[in-house]
Structure 1
């Protein structure tokens, strides 16, 4: 397996990894535009555009797009994050040209017809409603708002009902023309392919795309804060966060080890103490969320309203104990988990395609797996203790709570 990278004359980048032992190809179009790049009045436009690109082009109807990819046993999909938007397909090795033709068609030739937009906005409003009705999902949107007040990175990816309703076909077409430019796009592919053939096809289908200018990203400011929403629910959902690390921060890998020890699996401190030993929550875990310029470290727990005030001191106690340093056993387990996760990600073509595309957008290069494993191995127990202590002593926390009971009493 070897990674190859080519940059076209218009600035579009192509990255691939050839695997002759398999019979499929995963290919994706990565656009360096996400929800954090939206003006407030257009909140939700990136996600809406992602939907609309599948609703018809100058050459194909929405039905044509669906039937053509499935006629060869393939599938297409897309997703929007705060940092970028991804359109991808997985097909048999002989169908790479079709996959690229479909992907280029939706990205370059979508009509964003007003009638289709009217229908799709209703679908998106249903999606927003479903998220609101799922407290263990929407609590993370609330946490993002609390952590990054009055910034685009803090707003919901799906948008708000009023901003989505106000979007027009002209808005979408203008946003598409301005942001979907060659300098903002990476084509990533993994599977049974030849890099030169991939480059030829991408040049043929995307070579006429204007270069444009790289995305300008407003630097995020972590603010911290608290949002509590009273609801009549069986559980109270609690998400808390502290300043974390960007992808490029020197402590990025140490933070991953810390998070894994604290709440990253069934052997973690939070799972063992909060769930197994005390039965205070069914779901409890820690997580990290990183971007190019910022990041957060967080904890989620879902428990009964009458158990929340008993659970919070237990979580805090485990965080304080870890600040005194991890044990040899848990430190070894955490690093093994992270290293195996890196290696396992190489085995699935779609996840590897995503990894290559994301790394090229963030670092403008592909990180060798050996380099990432080495950085995990160089993390020391002292590094973990230092990060744990900085989290415990931080005066800049964020918290989002949804549920019943005395929400004011739920605090660290």
Structure 2
């Protein structure tokens, strides 16, 4: 990216919680924590001090399908960034004492997620959507599933998860391609692959969950099946989600908040995995109006499935989505992360121009069809966390949607 003085480097692995069995639930996330406790010739403090000494920052994240390590740094810092990320994924120390300490840290993270209603309600909904499957278990795992981790077992898991045949190095910003390729060969080119068995394709099961807590507001999530990242109708589903609840002009914001005052926060989202997807709605509402809110949400989804959007709604959604795309193009971190994900999913990066063209090509009928497809299985996953009076909202959503 000409004119920039900073760069972004991402090392992304096609592996995460989706590759775990129930006994190893949370191991990928715990491993991501552990590699920062020491790698190569560096201790935990050395890792961050070396990066920050050159004005950089280091971060990582674990999802269901990918684990990513990211460095933002000044021009000229690429050699150091490549060395450190290589050490983290290939040469972590995995000290037994650090492993035991980090189990306690992750246990606190699990407790914090449980204590945060608008976090825990999404875990509840995810479990209902993919019950009994890796996608239905929390990325953090549980205290019980983390307890058996030893240096040998987590080391074996690292070799399987961070295998170079499932790894992409992506960089953007103030980067010289020749230098990048040489550094990639030096720090990533001599690793031995340890192939892992591919996980089974997920199945959307559906179901209702309710948890009563003495809090002021009900936290509510409704989910339906939606296209995967590889599905040809992906672009239509993204636009449909934007029209449904993507912003202040969306149908849900206008009908649920502006017209009826049912919720302060309400939005829709599309979660695309490689071979599955979710259309979701999240809202925070008073318990005594949760059922009414559920019926409004169902009515708006059904209206899109039966009548589709207006031409004006579709044009606005296209403008919003493409604006977000071009804005992300101005961020080195967004570009590097997006390119890495695309290579892992599709085998090659997709240009922003191609993505924008796909968005613009969608029609009113395409959007209607995408909404209708989410209703075909007649399955929904719902989660309600809050006062007891809100608990019937899940059943009310299902009844209003499917009769």
- TM, length-normalised to structure 1: 0.93
Q: CA deviation at 1:373?
A: 0.9
> Whole-Å Cα distance in 2 between the matches of residues 200 and 305 of structure 1?
59
> Whole-Å Cα distance in 2 between the matches of residues 386 and 377 of structure 1?
16
**Which of 251, 267, 270 is the aligned partner of 1:288?**
270
Any conservation in 1 of the 2:164–2:192 contact (CA below 8 Å)? yes
Most deviating of 54-63 and 383-392:
383-392
SS in 1 for 2:36: coil
Any conservation in 1 of the 2:288–2:390 contact (CA below 8 Å)? no
Any conservation in 1 of the 2:224–2:375 contact (CA below 8 Å)? no
CA deviation vs aligned residue, 1:102-161 (integer Å, no higher than 9, x gap): 111111111111101111111111111111111111111111110111111111000011
Matched, 1:325 2:315: no
**Which of 22, 26, 35 is the aligned partner of 2:4?**
22
Q: CA deviation at 1:393?
A: 5.6
Over 4 Å off, 4+ runs: none
In the other structure, the counterpart of 2:45 is: 63
> Whole-Å Cα distance in 2 between the matches of residues 49 and 393 of structure 1?
39
Q: CA deviation at 1:23?
A: 0.5
| CA pair 274-71 structure 1, distance change in 2 beyond 3 A | same
In the other structure, the counterpart of 2:228 is: 246
> Whole-Å Cα distance in 1 between the matches of residues 371 and 14 of structure 2?
33
In the other structure, the counterpart of 1:404 is: 387
SS in 1 for 2:76: helix
Any conservation in 2 of the 1:31–1:186 contact (CA below 8 Å)? yes
Matched, 1:163 2:139: no
CA RMSD of aligned residues (A): 1.3
**Which of 154, 163, 175 is the aligned partner of 2:157?**
175
Where structure 2 has 5 or more consecutive residues not aligned to the other structure, the ranges are 398-403
Q: CA deviation at 1:31?
A: 1.1
| CA pair 21-215 structure 1, distance change in 2 beyond 3 A | farther
> Whole-Å Cα distance in 2 between the matches of residues 328 and 181 of structure 1?
47
> Whole-Å Cα distance in 1 between the matches of residues 251 and 331 of structure 2?
30
Q: CA deviation at 1:390?
A: 3.5
Most deviating of 289-298 and 321-330:
321-330
SS in 2 for 1:226: strand
| CA pair 393-84 structure 1, distance change in 2 beyond 3 A | closer
> Whole-Å Cα distance in 1 between the matches of residues 192 and 372 of structure 2?
49
Any conservation in 2 of the 1:306–1:405 contact (CA below 8 Å)? no
Give matches, 1:25-44, under 5 Å: 25-44=7-26
| CA pair 74-33 structure 1, distance change in 2 beyond 3 A | same
Matched, 1:91 2:73: yes
In the other structure, the counterpart of 1:344 is: 327
- TM, length-normalised to structure 2: 0.95
CA deviation vs aligned residue, 1:354-397 (integer Å, no higher than 9, x gap): 00100000000111111111111111001112222343565111
Any conservation in 1 of the 2:11–2:85 contact (CA below 8 Å)? yes
Any conservation in 2 of the 1:147–1:223 contact (CA below 8 Å)? yes
Most deviating of 157-166 and 283-292:
157-166
Count of matched residue pairs: 394
> Whole-Å Cα distance in 1 between the matches of residues 245 and 69 of structure 2?
32
